[in-house]
Amino acid sequence: MSSDDTTSYPVEFLNSLELSGVPSHKLELKVGVPVLLMRNLDAPRLCNGTRLQVNELGRHIVKATILTGEAKGDNVLIPRIPIIPNNLPFNFKRLQFPLKVAFSMTINKSQGQTLKVAGIHLGTPCFSHGQLYGLLTCFQSENLHVYAEGKNSL
């Protein structure tokens, strides 16, 4: 964003950065893919963590259907927005859709969601039992499949 930094950091380097909360430089989407919204755009309908399904792709707009929450089933438009990370020693702006492909979710993102069928892979132990409890409360027990190994498994 600063003209002084333009020569210090090549575009290839900036494009290669994968930062938490910042969409990738190259976002590959297809119609029908489930995505996760990474920014609050229009609360309470479009909040960070809302799952959507892509219906149409445009250069500056993605048309999608909301899959979760009180606005479930609504069709929405997601614009490209400027995203400025603040955890770097320099400032740069990425103009990108605030979306991430979401065939799976972290335990934290699944809280408050309701899914018909789910699988949980506990090959690595959970950070805390509270996270696992929050995850397990999202599902009907007959549609929940848990994989755990070792002597301390479920």
Summarised one tens digit per residue, pLDDT across range 102-118 is: 876 665 666 566 667 77
33-50 burial by CB neighbour count: b if 16+ within 10 A, else e?
bebbbbbebeeeebeebb
Residue 56 tokens read as: 């149409």
Return the higher-pLDDT residue of 73 and 127.
Answer: 73
pLDDT averaged over every residue in the chain? 76
Most confident among 41-45, 62-66, 147-151 (mean pLDDT): 62-66
78 CB neighbour count, 10 Å cutoff: 21
Summarised one tens digit per residue, pLDDT across range 114-142 is: 667 777 777 776 666 666 676 666 666 67
